[in-house]
Structure 1
């Protein structure tokens, strides 16, 4: 009888491990699918002559990050609990030993590789965010160079500091960032800011008097599809960050996420109408994205009632921020606002709304927020984390992009920008019918392609 109970208990434990691994892989696939969402958003906001270039960029960048993350990114981010970086797990393989303090410390099992895949998808999303500020004018050579630096150093430094037991986990009772408002989104937006400052605006974006001109994207339907794909992927992002099926906490996190996103759409819609008397499709969609970014940090720490409030504020902030930033900086997709400003708000909101029920438990970082505790301590920890992450990422990113600019050139020429990245970088058009001069037959039109 005792032997049967032991076998039953062992089987139950194995099933639990299998379920958790399955959930992590499903969540990782949902987060990976967000690459399609970013592609659609950027294609929609691009002009037709640059649409195809986005496809090549997304495919190449995800592939590059995958290999770098396996080789060293995961090891530095999660390969041990040292204060700066991890020290084990390079070229990760099943059966090796990971240093103490890692979420998968000990001997690596097949189930542990699900966690590696999940965190890879996070790094890839953060990297994808960088390029929204650079549409239609950056040279392809920037992607592999910055990509290696980003996945091998920049992102691991921030991820280890907050997710992996590093420096910011030791400030106060720990910084709260459940799924990455700072780690993923602010990091990506900050890298994008560094690139943008060195690139400058697109040709014709600002008039002789410095006033901004609208450069409409070619497909708002494509943009809308991208927003919905991102919204779907976010359930893997936030709910997957529970890392387990135990207690079904992932279901509560999923509902928190959806409530915030819905409120973000409403908040952005009302704000853009009040400020412009127009229901701008791009602003409404970015309201959803900004709310999802904002709820990423607090999604595992707040009660349901706080989610719509956080989301609505984020939606309004995105609209105000896009209008303000557009006066001086050419950010075609609004990445600085939707991922940067909203990421800061979401991270700080933990210090306001983190609930005792969810943070007063073993292993949960930080303390209850100001609304519950009356203390500004956690809010101060959150603000410090935002500042440290921003300064670190901006400094390393700016130096990297400056080196690329000096050695290889960061931006295409004015003539190449006018022709479009599709033909300049890739030798083909995303929408050839729009650009090829028609002859007697479709094939004859290809005689008009520029020689390169």
Structure 2
């Protein structure tokens, strides 16, 4: 009987590992989704640079998170602020801590890190130079993301780690704040120094519409991201247990509700301005918002989260336009504003609202305070360090490409002149004589 019990435990561990690996693959698919989304929403002349920056994001995340980021985020706690081992995954598999996932856990977390980086590339599209963006990606993967991640998630690998926000009771199941808001607030810091795209505003300060390259292509990106989110949230259980189905269901409901509400809100109250972009953004906003607590919400409360996310996204979108914060793909309303919303709305979960069937006012207020603290700390850390990083880059290598390159289209490498492909008369005669 003991042998069978041990065999069952080993089999369950293997099933958990397979599920987390599948989830990691789904989150990695989100890189392709972000590429399609961003390429579809920017102007045609910049699509090559946008696509290649998405490739750079993943390459940088893969190396920097391997060498330093993972250790800072999940290594043994040092002075309550950062991890101090597991650099270059040293001794990862030999760790005796009841965690059997090892390298698979790293791959799953790597996919999350890649997502945080990609958010920044989209927001700052069409005017950011390649070198400053590359340096910024390194710095985000090296310091900004893993340090805040340690404060909120530092005990996910070593259970006895001091993760001070988590120890206070901060809930962010799959990263509404840890992943999405970090990326958004770094983007906001960069955009505040970068300035709007040429032609985005008229001389009187009124916004001018910029036609997206391909809305259907952006919609394809949305569907790829939506599928990836099933792994993003469902895999964050780190086990294939009975909660996975409900988590994915809640995720889907919030995304669907966010899309519908954003569409009709824009149609009825915002004169249909940017209605396609807001439909896509509303869906993404709902997915971001539910990410903080899909494991403790119900289908009904997930719908409430999606409704509020759709409205918050649309108002956030318009607010940034009026403030001349030119977010090329609407990343900040989706990942920043809806990330904050979802992190605060953790408290509408029945598990928090009620104790033994009775409304627990003090628990709700206490939890809301902890959630608000986590949101504020995230903004203060990511925005201030991001601002310092981009300011330094602006004063040294510069942030923007030249006006001519911005007008003609950003290229990462000098354009190669295409050869004249016309066939001369003699070559044509020779070609025809062969038939």
Pairwise same-fold verdict (TM > 0.5): yes
| Two-structure CA RMSD over aligned residues (Å) | 2.2
Are 2:62 and 1:66 aligned? yes
**Are the counterparts in 2 of residues 89 and 97 from structure 1 also a CA contact under 8 Å?**
no
**1:17-57, Cα deviation, whole Å (9 max, x unpaired):** 11111011100110010001110111011111111112211
With the length of structure 1 as denominator, give the TM-score of the two structures: 0.86
Are 2:115 and 1:121 aligned? no
Tell me the number of residue pairs that the alignment of Structure 1 and Structure 2 aligns.
Answer: 410
**Are the counterparts in 1 of residues 93 and 102 from structure 2 also a CA contact under 8 Å?**
no
Shift of the 107–268 alpha-carbon distance from structure 1 to 2, 3 Å rule, reads closer
Shift of 1:354: 2.5
Question: 1: distance between equivalents of 2:102 and 2:359?
Answer: 36
Shift of 1:270: 1.4
Shift of 1:437: 11
**Are the counterparts in 1 of residues 61 and 114 from structure 2 also a CA contact under 8 Å?**
yes
Q: 2:34 aligns with which of 21, 34, 38?
A: 38
**Are the counterparts in 2 of residues 78 and 86 from structure 1 also a CA contact under 8 Å?**
yes
Shift of 1:168: 0.8
Shift of the 181–54 alpha-carbon distance from structure 1 to 2, 3 Å rule, reads same
Shift of 1:200: 0.5
Shift of the 96–224 alpha-carbon distance from structure 1 to 2, 3 Å rule, reads closer
Question: 2: distance between equivalents of 1:143 and 1:62?
Answer: 13
Residue 23 of structure 2 is matched in structure 1 by 27
Question: 1: distance between equivalents of 2:115 and 2:151?
Answer: 18
Are 2:87 and 1:90 aligned? yes
Q: 1:161 aligns with which of 133, 151, 154?
A: 151
Are 2:312 and 1:322 aligned? no
Residue 295 of structure 1 is matched in structure 2 by 290
Residue 159 of structure 2 is matched in structure 1 by none
**Are the counterparts in 2 of residues 32 and 121 from structure 1 also a CA contact under 8 Å?**
yes
Summarize the alignment of residues 30-429 of structure 1 with structure 2, pairs less than 5 Å apart.
Answer: 30-82=26-78, 83-93=80-90, 98=95, 106=97, 111-165=101-155, 166-171=163-168, 174-246=169-241, 248-278=242-272, 280-327=275-322, 328-351=324-347, 353-356=348-351, 372-375=359-362, 376-422=365-411, 425-428=412-415
**1:156-175, Cα deviation, whole Å (9 max, x unpaired):** 1111111114221122xx10
Question: 2: distance between equivalents of 1:9 and 1:75?
Answer: 34
Are 2:3 and 1:7 aligned? yes
**1:350-396, Cα deviation, whole Å (9 max, x unpaired):** 12x1232xx79xxxxxx98xx94223110111011100011001111
**1:127-150, Cα deviation, whole Å (9 max, x unpaired):** 111122211100011233112211
Shift of 1:80: 2.3
Give the secondary structure class of the aligned counterpart of 1:177.
Answer: coil
**Are the counterparts in 1 of residues 16 and 239 from structure 2 also a CA contact under 8 Å?**
yes
With the length of structure 2 as denominator, give the TM-score of the two structures: 0.89
Runs of 4+ in 1 over 6 A off after TM superposition: 436-439
